[in-house]
Chain A
Amino acid sequence: MNPQQILISLWTLVVKEVRRFTRIWPQTLLPPSITMTMYFIIFGNLIGSRIGEMDGISYMAYIVPGLIMMSVITNSYSNVASSFFSNKFQRSVEEMMVSPMPNWVILAGFVLGGMARGLGVGLIVTLVSFFFTDLNIHHPLVTLGVVTMTATLFSIGGFINALLAHKFDDISIVPIFVLTPLTYLGGVFYSINMLPEFWQSVSLANPILYMVNAFRYGILGVSDIPVAGALVAIAIFIVAFFVLALWMLERGKGIRS
């Protein structure tokens, strides 16, 4: 395929993906907005008013970056996982397989679709947060860079999950048993400096902690970890996951007999 044809095929796939999640917006865009509003009311307003400040910032403002990041992570991941698995399940993935579209375009198309939903939901949650607190973004480039890279990483993760999945249950295992616990323990609601030394060390093994903190640094200017290291680590993970997903796609893992 020449570059123009590649661009057309990529655009086709991205538009199709965006159309898919906007068509079912009551399932994809509305629930995270409602859930996050609940978090803001319960944790930020009711409980947060008794906690006071954290790292010199009001508790409500402190949890906003983590909650935005939580939405971005879960939505990027689940969008690609459910969409690609649904394509496998309905066999419409064959439409792409019989076409001359290169595998990296298929992967990129789904990842961009996942990023669109993750970032879209992140934006909605950010807008909702304005009803509860004022946010002055300290480092816009860091903020944008971290959230985009995180959406990319988890979109690729969702793709790998969908390739390996045999049934619909298989695409909910990782979000329920891995992503959600890691996100809750990734410093969304607290600073790891509050933890005993041993648990602080354990927390440092949680990759989501780095993303949440790097994002918090971008918005609030405070972080429990060095931000530059976090950005490098996310970038390395993106490359590694992309190569793995592409290798699996080339081998026909989960899609060719």
Chain B
Amino acid sequence: MAEPALSIRGLTKVYGNGFHALKGIDLDVPEGDFFALLGPNGAGKSTTLGIVCSLVQKTAGQVKIYGVDIDRDFAKAKYHLGVVPQEFNFSQFEKVEDIILAQAGYYGLPLRQAKPRCDQLLKDLGLWDKRHGPARMLSGGMKRRLMIARALIHRPRLLILDEPTAGVDIELRRSMWDYMRRINREEGTTIILTTHYLEEAESLCRNIAIINHGVIVRNTSVRDLLTELDTETFLLDLAHPITEVPRVEGFEVEKVDSAQLALSVRKGQRLNDVFTQLSEQDIQVLSMRNRANRLEELFVTMVEGNNAKTQAEQAAQEEAQ
């Protein structure tokens, strides 16, 4: 069986102030996967990825990148790794091209190999015209693309993207998605993504892990996770204003405003029944959309459930003391 791109066992991190950021997590990311690591702020996502990238020191546990234990040969493991962090972490005063070529140099790539690769990445990521300008002159979206180009210069097998599209406009976000899909599909690059846009995770990723309070709450495929969704809420835009909430047999309906209804649909229920009943009451529906992203609904449910469990455990501990 092929080694996973990333294998984590019993990973623990206790910061100097005593905060337990990670409580012995286990995680496997198969080769070629597009994997999402999700969780609320402070859940332990960035700490996990920071340890994998050597930016954070672990307290205990084992991390292997393509079978290479980072405690035994971190340098070898790092060759497989490309990192796009959450914050901009390049010198704002350097030229765009110099930043990418310097990174190639840090990996020991000769200039004759690095330059054509750099040119290609600059073109692919729409930075070609800006290559001789200082990085500080780039827009936020361009800076994010610069970090992606820099992370890919040495052709890593595992790419870690920590909120790569934060603050990026929708059009650019979509083009970045396309690019990430392409390198995952065509070059076989394994991608681990953290994001707050759950639409992004649902659209891009095959597998997903949800982390909260330093513990992996769920680790499954996006498809399996979505089948667990019991209820979806749709917003119906109406052709004419209404004064009273219509009665729809078997469904829960709420009035959002005079021209919009919120409809809860349980798994297995047919939408045709809704439209039939609404038509009978002379209510015309112009359009319909999900109130929230499907994954978002699940995520909120799981995180809230985990928070309640953690609070209950803490309360029990305090009582026992």
- Please report which residues of chain A, range 27-64, place their CB below 8 angstroms from some CB of chain B when the two chains form the complex: none
* Mask: chain B, 256-293; 1 = CB below 8 Å from A; 0 = not: 00000000000000000000000000000000000000
Most chain B CB neighbours (cut-off 10 Å) among A23, A91, A252:
A91
What is the interface of chain B mostly: helix, strand, loop, or mixed? loop
Binding site for B on A (CB under 8 A): 1-2, 4-6, 8-9, 11-13, 16, 19, 23, 86-87, 90-92, 94-102, 252, 256-257
Distance between A13 CB and nearest chain B CB, rounded to angstroms: 8
In this complex, how many residues of chain B approach chain A with their Cβ under 8 Å: the count is 37
User: What residues of chain B lie closer than 8 Å to A91, measured between beta carbons?
Assistant: 85, 87-89
Let me know if A98 and B81 touch, CB within 8 A.
yes
Most chain A CB neighbours (cut-off 10 Å) among B53, B75, B87:
B75
A-B contact count (CB 8 A): 90
3 smallest beta-carbon distances between A and B, as pairs:
A5-B108, A12-B105, A99-B106
Counting CB contacts under 8 A, is B251 at the interface?
no
Most chain B CB neighbours (cut-off 10 Å) among A2, A4, A5:
A5
Let me know if B102 and A95 touch, CB within 8 A.
yes
Let me know if A256 and B53 touch, CB within 8 A.
no
User: What residues of chain A lie closer than 8 Å to B75, measured between beta carbons?
Assistant: 1, 100, 102
Binding site for A on B (CB under 8 A): 15-16, 50, 53-57, 74-76, 78-79, 81, 83, 85, 87-94, 98-99, 101-110, 150
User: What residues of chain A lie closer than 8 Å to B98, measured between beta carbons?
Assistant: 16, 19
What is the interface of chain A mostly: helix, strand, loop, or mixed? helix
Task: Indicate which residue in B88, B89, B108, B150 contacts A6 across the interface (CB closer than 8 Å).
Answer: B108
User: What residues of chain A lie closer than 8 Å to B103, measured between beta carbons?
Assistant: 95, 99
Given the contacts A90-B90, A257-B57, A98 and B83 also touching, CB distance less than 8 Å: yes
**Nearest-neighbor residue (CB-CB) of B52 within chain A:** A98
Let me know if B55 and A96 touch, CB within 8 A.
no
User: What residues of chain B lie closer than 8 Å to A87, measured between beta carbons?
Assistant: 91
Distance between A45 CB and nearest chain B CB, rounded to angstroms: 39
Given the contacts A91-B87, A100-B76, A8 and B57 also touching, CB distance less than 8 Å: no
